[in-house]
Amino acid sequence: MGRIQVINAQDRIELDDSSIERLRQFLEKVCEMEGCNDKDKPINVIIVDNDYISKLNRQFLGREGPTDVLSFDLDDVAEIYVSIEYDSQAIHHFALHGLLHIIGYDHKVEKDASVMRSREEQYLKLWTSN
């Protein structure tokens, strides 16, 4: 999946540079373990507030209100929008969930959901061990 960039695009909850870098490194590690490579498209993880993600949720999914994460696999870049206000202590989990969608995991049917949940649990152990 190439280079991952984490962008703090909100100003409601303070997020220091070391937290952003830790998140970026975590997601890069997951990408590496999943077999992503530098030839794949870049991934932007954009940290936003509830107002912003609510607008995206309405515009692209037709749903009202905030959500934790939205992923968009565009032609030349992948974008993962994470709401820090949804749960500021879980942005790593939301970003991971979005990344797994970009990589190709889904949870629409139970069989796929079970595989995705298992991967999430596996990778969340990396986060807590750091």
- Indicate if the pLDDT at residue 114 is higher than 90: yes
Overall pTM > 0.85: yes
State the Cα–Cα distance between residues 116 and 123, nearest whole angstrom. Answer: 11
H helix or E strand, kind and range, residue 34: helix 17-34
State the Cα–Cα distance between residues 57 and 13, nearest whole angstrom. Answer: 21
pLDDT in tens, 62-113: 999 999 999 999 999 999 999 999 999 999 999 999 999 999 999 988 889 9
What pLDDT score was predicted for residue 37? 72
From 9-13, 30-34, 107-111, the region with the lowest mean pLDDT: 107-111
State the Cα–Cα distance between residues 32 and 74, nearest whole angstrom. Answer: 21
Per the CB < 8 A criterion, the answer to whether 57 and 63 are in contact is: yes
Domains in the chain, CATH or no CATH each: 4-129 (3.40.390.30)
- Indicate if the pLDDT at residue 1 is higher than 90: no
